[in-house]
């Protein structure tokens, strides 16, 4: 019997989702708990699994459609592969498609031509079919020029008639530009739209200011070199830089609690715990999973958690609850080569620490010029809660802790 595939409750604040990629099509065999479709919410991308083994019967909502929580988006014919052929299951779900179709070999299947947006408008305007036009663009794409050329070749020559109306000048190509200059319009994913909205919200609703400092990373690098092998042997994870910065942030946030707080109406909410968000790149945009109670985590626990976040972010397998909340955020643009930037806070947080690339630079030490591995750090903060003195002192504390990491207990 057909089973309804409904949009599950993803989070208490999420009422609808956008249908992502369908991993199964009608007629495909599915197994119980096998992912069938991806659902994109405003906070995360999740996979919806099949409730039972059987055959994919019918899809009601295609990719890009919006569906509400609890809405039926597809049917699965239960009973396992032995209950019938995929075509039979599809016929039961869709009677109008039950008529047999001639078999088309893969090499004989027609490939629909790629049509650029301007060319599509020209086709519709003149009532032409895309199959009647030979595309000259990359990969055989049909350009507007191809449609106009086809119209010109098919148009019979007619004697010129006098006209008192001035003829419009043909569009000219700017000098120096030649070839096919095509564009492609792709809709934003729901996650990308939400990220954009939150960034604009942060700019409009907070008094943002950024302060900078620089850190000599030589001591941390030497410590990693000295203890890295024994750390990895004991904990089976590499000793990275992020655990040092998480530890340093927790230390500094304890001294400057306004950076671990948020504005709530006319009040300030101070958090007596430290949920540190770590910004990681995913296939569909930046996400910020949370290290809960980071003040109680060891170096190894932090490294394991951050590595796991990074892997699952690329696979779009982060859970919604892992992305909610957070009292402070760390964003490492240095992994992409950024030398200096001004990060934007993640509302309703009041601060974000931006890390950058480590670069050998000449600096003065005891009257001499030496080459040291230096990193610029940036703190963007909400000036409604945090004064400039606190922000500068916070960064100075981060600098002091990381240039003298022995004060942090190494758990190896």
Q: Give the residue numbers marked as catalytic.
A: 383, 387
Indicate if the alpha-carbon torsion angle 136, 138, 139, 145 is positive or negative: negative
Cβ atoms of residues 337 and 281 within 8 Å: no
Nearest Cα to 217, choosing from 401, 19, 53, 31? Answer: 401
Cβ atoms of residues 128 and 150 within 8 Å: yes
368 burial type by CB count under 10 A (0-12 exposed, 13-18 middle, 19+ buried): exposed
Cβ atoms of residues 53 and 78 within 8 Å: yes
Cβ atoms of residues 26 and 32 within 8 Å: no
Cβ atoms of residues 224 and 244 within 8 Å: no
Which helix (DSSP H) or strand (DSSP E) does residue 279 occupy?
Answer: strand 276-282
Nearest Cα to 385, choosing from 148, 206, 225, 172? Answer: 206
């Amino acid at each position: 019997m057909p089973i309804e595939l409904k949009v599950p409750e993803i989070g208490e604040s999420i009422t609808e989702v956008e249908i992502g990629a369908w991993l199964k099509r009608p007629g495909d065999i599915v197994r119980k708990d096998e992912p069938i479709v991806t659902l994109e919410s405003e906070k995360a991308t999740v996979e919806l699994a099949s409730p039972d083994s059987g055959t994919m019967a019918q899809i009601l909502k295609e990719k890009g459609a919006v569906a509400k929580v609890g809405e039926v988006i597809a049917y699965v014919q239960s009973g396992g592969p032995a209950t019938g052929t995929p075509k039979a299951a599809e016929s039961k779900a869709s009677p109008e498609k039950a008529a047999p179709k001639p078999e088309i070999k893969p090499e004989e299947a027609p490939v629909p031509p790629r049509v650029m947006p301007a060319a599509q408008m020209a086709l519709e305007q003149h009532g032409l079919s895309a199959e009647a036009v030979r595309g000259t663009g990359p990969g055989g794409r049909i350009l507007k020029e191809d449609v106009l050329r086809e119209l010109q070749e098919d148009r019979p020559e007619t004697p010129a008639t006098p006209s008192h109306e001035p003829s419009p000048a043909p569009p000219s190509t700017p000098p120096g530009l030649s070839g096919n200059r095509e564009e492609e319009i792709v809709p934003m994913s729901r996650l990308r739209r939400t990220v954009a909205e939150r960034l604009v919200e942060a700019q409009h609703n907070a008094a943002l200011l950024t302060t900078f400092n620089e850190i000599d990373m030589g001591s941390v690098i030497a410590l990693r070199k000295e203890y890295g092998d024994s750390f990895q042997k004991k904990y089976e994870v590499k000793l990275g830089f992020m655990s040092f910065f998480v530890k340093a942030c927790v230390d500094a946030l304890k001294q400057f609690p306004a950076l671990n707080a948020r504005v709530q109406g006319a009040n300030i909410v101070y958090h007596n715990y430290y949920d540190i968000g770590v910004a990681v790149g995913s296939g569909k945009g930046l996400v910020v999973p949370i290290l809960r109670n980071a003040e109680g985590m060891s170096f190894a626990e932090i490294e394991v958690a951050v590595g796991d976040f990074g892997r699952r972010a690329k696979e779009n397998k982060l859970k919604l609850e892992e992305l909610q909340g957070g009292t402070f955020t760390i964003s490492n643009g240095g992994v992409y080569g950024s030398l200096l930037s001004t990060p934007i806070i993640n509302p309703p947080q009041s601060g974000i620490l931006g890390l950058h690339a480590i670069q050998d630079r000449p600096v003065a030490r005891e009257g001499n010029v030496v080459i040291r591995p230096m990193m610029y750090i940036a703190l963007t903060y909400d000036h409604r809660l945090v004064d400039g003195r606190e922000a500068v002192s916070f960064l100075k504390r981060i600098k002091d802790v990381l240039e003298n990491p022995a004060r942090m207990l190494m758990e190896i």
